[in-house]
Amino acid sequence: MRPEFLLDNQLCFRLYTASRLLTQAYHPLLSEQGLTYPQYLVLLVLWEKDAQPVNDIAKRLYLETNTVTPLLQRMEKEGILTRTKGTKDARQMIVKLTKKGKKLQDQLTEVPLTVGDAVICESVTPETAPELFKMLDGIIAQLSERNSR
């Protein structure tokens, strides 16, 4: 067998497995509030800066707007956010948190800490995490550029 075809030599498998297991770690913490992991990501974007166009949220999450729109529609039905037409451009939808959406930030305060603690191990420590982020950001940037061609 050629070494490049061994599962243990695949970066993609490690990233996929880590992503899947990380999402599983979030599940019990978010389900208490009736949230999914993708909804939590939308909340993180809106907690950083509220009242954003759908396109900006999609770009920030490296997703297409047709992927984000149904997610936002469900969150709107649940009273977490509102979607209104833009004042400058009626084709643009502006997404804004409701009181319930803002309150969720206080209710989910422990989530980043709990998941962060779950990830800490010999090779990932608070000291090495910034370097890991830098490496992952490099992979994301490279793949985003390549996939946008």
Distance CA 140, CA 149 (A): 15
pLDDT in tens, 77-115: 999 999 999 888 778 899 999 999 999 999 999 999 999
Q: What is the pLDDT of residue 89?
A: 78
Distance CA 116, CA 133 (A): 13
Residues 149 and 60: beta-carbon distance below 8 Å? no
Average pLDDT over residues 64-72: 96
pTM, 2 dp: 0.92
Calculate the average pLDDT of the chain.
95
Distance CA 94, CA 104 (A): 20
CATH of 35-104, one of 1.10.10.10, 3.40.50.1360, 3.30.930.10, 3.40.1280.10: 1.10.10.10
